[in-house]
Amino acid sequence: MQVWTKLFAKSPFKPLIKHAEVVLETVEVLEKALEAWEVGDYETMRNYARKVDDLEDFADRIKEEIRDSLSSKLFMPVNRGDILRYLHMQDKIADAAENTAKWLLVRDPNDMPEDIKEEIKSLIMKMSQESIKAAKLVYEAIVQMDTVIESGFGEKEIEKEYELIREIESVEHKIDELDTEFMEIIFKNSSKLEWGLGMYLLNIAKTLSNISDKAKDAAERIRLMMNK
């Protein structure tokens, strides 16, 4: 009797985890691009930045597939709308990474004033590391969500999930602070900076902090998934 094959539909969680994996990879490749940017290897930077773009495309395709398969005929342990909104936010993380990559490709910043060059670079790198952390935590959070369901919504597993969500929120807070610090530096030195360069740097910082913003939004959605 084939009822078993039909009655149990494909779980959306495996593809969601796959999507999170690709999103994480997108952010990781972006960090490599920024590392190349830091040392001034613009050729390598460009290659990585283009790879970020490809990965974002790939994430988009997985997203579409999940959306198509998540029809309303499924009966699931979590709200379908919550899953879709979560997916949307998770995908936005990759979009944010792609935006950073786009700004990287706009120009070569070989004209940074020497006295603030190091400070700017180190701040950007810090932000990049934090955004990777955020993306990694989102990945862990969706894997943990799978475990939460596996355990039949066990309190212990739910507590672990809340822990991850709190961590994501603290990372986002940290990046916000770095972003503010960065803006202050740029505006303090605005007389030394050509307007295009200032805009370029501000946007890199802005898009980087966006990654963690979206990670936080995704975490919020996971929180909602648990309170059906």
CB nearer to another protein: pick between 149 and 215: 149
Span near another protein by CB under 8 A; candidates 2-10, 37-45, 84-92, 174-182: 2-10
Q: Does 153 bind another protein (CB under 8 A)?
A: yes
Q: Does 5 bind another protein (CB under 8 A)?
A: yes
Which residues are CB-neighbours of 52 under 8 A, at least 6 positions away? Answer: 26, 29, 30, 33, 97, 98, 100, 101
Q: Does 6 bind another protein (CB under 8 A)?
A: yes
What is the C-alpha to C-alpha distance for residues 185 and 3, in angstroms, rounded to an integer? 64
What is the C-alpha to C-alpha distance for residues 201 and 42, in angstroms, rounded to an integer? 15
Closest CA to 220 of 146, 180, 161, 148: 161
Contacts to another protein from residues 43-82, by CB under 8 A: 73-78
Q: Does 156 bind another protein (CB under 8 A)?
A: yes
Contacts to another protein from residues 10-39, by CB under 8 A: 10-13
Please calculate the CA angle 176-180-183 and round it to the nearest 5 degrees.
135
Contacts to another protein from residues 158-217, by CB under 8 A: none
Residues that bind another protein (CB under 8 A): 1-13, 73-78, 147, 149-157, 228
